[in-house]
Structure formats: structure tokens, C-alpha cells
Copies of this chain bind each other. A is one copy, B any other.
Amino acid sequence: MNETAVSPLAPAGFPDLPPVPGVELATLAAGLRYKKRADLFLAKLAPPTTVAGTFTQSLCPSAPVDWCREILPAGGARALVVNAGSANAFTGSLGETAAELTATTIAGRLGISATEVMLASTGVIGEQLPTEVLGAALLQLGGSLEASTPSSWGDAANAIRTTDTFPKGAAATAQIGDRSVQVVGIAKGSGMIAPDMATMLGFVFTDASVSSSALQQMLTPAVDASFNRITVDSDTSTSDTVLLFATGAAATPEITGPTSPGYAELATAVTEVSLGLAHQIVRDGEGATKFVEVRVTGAETNEAAKVIALSIANSPLVKTALAAEDANWGRIVMAVGKAGQRANRDALGIWIGPEQCAEGGVQKPGYSEETASKHLQEDEVALTVDVGVGNGKATVWTCDLTHGYIEINAGYRS
């Protein structure tokens, strides 16, 4: 396992996150893969907690993803268990059994039903979970909820890390009627969208009272606006999972749909927390030295704009140019051209930061490469492209592609 230095784009520290009534946290160093650090996380959720989820599009999903998809329609959750180090993906029927055993053990320990236990695993693909070690650890983990010093959000965010160089957390509040509710999230991921240790996991908790269907209506667009708009290397994990839990402990009037009072406010807070977590994942992108915002306007539709923006954000040649702080905007033209979405070459506008490089299909007269290069020397850079055919727009976030990425991924298992 490499000891990697903390990303230069990391926030100054882990944010101060408030407790969320109805959520109890526990973490444990189970030694499943890592030594001397917590690698197992449990959130106990008070009744009547509801849950919504979004999962990887991979056609080879992990056993925990299959498990969550199966139990999600019931809409309730009493616990979440996450382990780091082993993904329980591509592990066949033994993997299914390991997932079921995990849920059953925690359920037995907490006196709940196994089908109310959400699961997530992240780590190496193709290795079986060591079920005996895990079983004992789960019993201990359940017991530790009664400890005098409960685990914090920071402990939890640390326990779910793999190649992450810093723990990730975000919080917001929402006003529902005259009451304020908490929205707190933690996440892991640094090779989003990547496999192995680099799965993207996000868990968001609120003490509002929300029906599971309203919660899902809220989560889907929040994920689309955040976790689905970041990319580190275009690879997609077998295990990507985002779960949103609402404990109802704030005793606010139940939100049952988009027209319920407080729906919009809570949806905004959930999106804000999701976006905060997503940006932190990009900031921890493997080998990243630049946080890059790619904005596309003038596309046929918003969806087309997103495809073009991701084509730019995923292009190895754009990303290596950014690493070199090289204002090589011809590579942006290339990435627009290969995206397969309508664009008017002869009306294309390209900006690096505030400096417009291209206009009307050619280099802009008076374009200053010096100004563009200066912008690229910042830690946070912005690329803007107008493709000149419509009103569709989208923003996505990525990082640059550096020797660090190769270093981490070519050395990672050894």
C-alpha cells in the first residue's frame, strides 16, 4: 500500500459537522486489509428512517450493490454498514453470502431486520471478504455504539477511505416551516470514476421526515447535479453508491412529494451537500494538482452540453496540457469534435479562465496566451466553451492528469 501525501487541493481541514438526530455512528479497526486504522463503519438509524439510493451503472455490480437494490424498494433503513479494503465485487455466490451475513449479523446485534441494513464495500475487486474476521468485528462494532465516546463524522469519513488522501464531509441546513433540519454527508473516492480502492461512495443523512419516494425524487437530481458531473479518469466502479437517509427525528411535518412544504429547501440542502462532497472527491483525484471546472454553453440540449463537457474533462490530452499549464486550446477543439454532439465549428468560442482563445472558428485576434497561461498556473482553473448551436448548458468538474496518477495506479497493488 502506498503512503501518499495529502492532495495539494485538499481543504484546510475536515469541516465541523453537527450531529444528526436519529443517527448513531460507530467505527472499528477490523484489520480486514488495513492495519492500525478503522476500516469498518456502522450508522445506526432510528425508526422511522427512510432511504433513497443511486448506484453504479456498471453491468458487473458488486454484491453490496445488488443487496441494496433488492431491499431499497421497501424504503426503510435501520442501519448502514460500510467496509473499506475489499469491494466484494466479482465474488460470485460466496460474495452474495458474505453480504447477507454482514446484514444478518448486524441485524441480530441491533435487533432489527436484515432487510433494513444497507451495505457498501470498497476495495480490491475479486477477493472474498474474510467472513469470520468480519463477523466478529461486526459484533464488536454493534457493541461499540454503547461506548461512552461515540465515533464522530470525521471517524466515519476516515473509516471508509481507501486511496483517499483526506476524509470528506459536508453539511447544510434546511428550513422546514419554522424548524431547521440538518443535512450531513460523508464520502470517499479519489479515482472517481474508478475501480479498486477508488470507488465513489456517498452517504447523506438528514433528520427531516421524508417519505422514501419523496427522498428518491430528491436524491436523483441531486446526484445528477453533483456526483454524476465529476470525473477523474472516466472509469466506472463496480460499487459506486450514494444513499440518502431521513431519520425524521426533527419531527417536522412529513415531506411526501415535491409540493410538500420544505421539499424545495431540503432538496437544495441535499444538492449542496452532494456537490460539496463531489468537489472534494475531485480535489482528491489521483495525482491531481488542478481543480478544473468545465462549462459548456450553446449546445443543443443540457444533456448534449454534459456529453461535450465530459468529453473535454475526460480527454487525456486536455488533462495533460492542464498539468503542464499549457494553454493548448487546440486540444479543447479536438475534444469538442469527438464528443459526437452537434457543435458549430465556425461559431465555437473557447475561454481559458477569463481569456478568450477562440472565436468564430479561428484563434481570436489579440488572444493573449500569456494571460491564459497565467490562469492555468492557479490551483483552480476554468475552461468555458460555447458550441454555438442552442441554449443547452452544463458544468462538470475534473482534475488534471499527472505523473502522480500513473504512480498511484501503476504501483497500487504491490
Chain A residues close to B by CB (< 8 Å) = 56-61, 87, 89-95, 124-127, 191, 193-196, 198, 233-238, 314-317, 320-321, 323-324, 326, 328-331, 333-343, 345-346, 348, 358, 360-363, 401-403, 405-407, 409-414
Within the complex, the shortest CB–CB distance from A270 to chain B, in Å, comes to 26
* 27 pairs of residues in contact across A and B, judged by CB atoms under 8 Å: A59-B343, A60-B336, A61-B337, A89-B333, A90-B333, A90-B362, A92-B346, A92-B361, A92-B362, A125-B331, A193-B338, A194-B334, A195-B317, A196-B331, A233-B317, A235-B317, A237-B334, A316-B405, A320-B410, A321-B410, A323-B410, A324-B410, A324-B412, A328-B412, A402-B406, A403-B406, A403-B407
Known contacts A60-B343, A317-B409, A324-B411; A125 and B361 CB within 8 A of each other:
no
Copies in the complex: 2
Expressed in whole angstroms, the Cα–Cα distance for A315 and B333 within the complex equals 22
Contact A334 B60 (CB under 8 A): yes
Known contacts A59-B345, A409-B321; A316 and B92 CB within 8 A of each other:
no
Expressed in whole angstroms, the Cα–Cα distance for A194 and B317 within the complex equals 8
Known contacts A60-B333, A324-B414; A362 and B406 CB within 8 A of each other:
no
Which residues of B have CB within 8 Å of A342? 59
Contact of A317 among B59, B196, B320 (CB under 8 A): B196
Contact B125 A330 (CB under 8 A): yes
Within the complex, the shortest CB–CB distance from A165 to chain B, in Å, comes to 18
Expressed in whole angstroms, the Cα–Cα distance for A405 and B406 within the complex equals 10
Within the complex, the shortest CB–CB distance from A392 to chain B, in Å, comes to 15
Within the complex, the shortest CB–CB distance from A152 to chain B, in Å, comes to 32
Within the complex, the shortest CB–CB distance from A127 to chain B, in Å, comes to 8
Which residues of B have CB within 8 Å of A363? 90, 126-127
Contact A234 B316 (CB under 8 A): yes
Within the complex, the shortest CB–CB distance from A128 to chain B, in Å, comes to 8
Contact of A330 among B61, B90, B414 (CB under 8 A): B90
Which residues of B have CB within 8 Å of A403? 403, 406-407
Known contacts A59-B345, A337-B61, A402-B406; A317 and B191 CB within 8 A of each other:
yes
Which residues of B have CB within 8 Å of A315? 234-235
Contact A59 B340 (CB under 8 A): yes
Which residues of B have CB within 8 Å of A330? 87, 89-90, 124-126, 195-196
Contact of A334 among B58, B91, B92, B407 (CB under 8 A): B58
Expressed in whole angstroms, the Cα–Cα distance for A25 and B194 within the complex equals 49
Closest 9 CB pairs of A and B: A125-B330, A60-B337, A58-B337, A195-B334, A236-B338, A324-B410, A92-B362, A320-B409, A92-B361
Expressed in whole angstroms, the Cα–Cα distance for A321 and B405 within the complex equals 12
Known contacts A126-B358, A235-B317, A317-B195; A337 and B413 CB within 8 A of each other:
no
Expressed in whole angstroms, the Cα–Cα distance for A60 and B233 within the complex equals 24
Known contacts A126-B363, A335-B235, A406-B402; A196 and B328 CB within 8 A of each other:
yes
Expressed in whole angstroms, the Cα–Cα distance for A336 and B28 within the complex equals 34
Which residues of B have CB within 8 Å of A194? 317, 334
Residue of B nearest to A343 (CB): B59
Contact B401 A406 (CB under 8 A): yes
Which residues of B have CB within 8 Å of A360? 92
Expressed in whole angstroms, the Cα–Cα distance for A90 and B333 within the complex equals 8
Which residues of B have CB within 8 Å of A198? 317
Expressed in whole angstroms, the Cα–Cα distance for A60 and B388 within the complex equals 13
Residue of B nearest to A315 (CB): B235
Which of A126, A238, A361, A402 has the most chain B CB atoms inside 10 A of its CB?
A: A126
Contact A125 B343 (CB under 8 A): no
Which residues of B have CB within 8 Å of A316? 233-235, 316, 405, 409
Which residues of B have CB within 8 Å of A60? 333-334, 336-337, 343, 345, 348
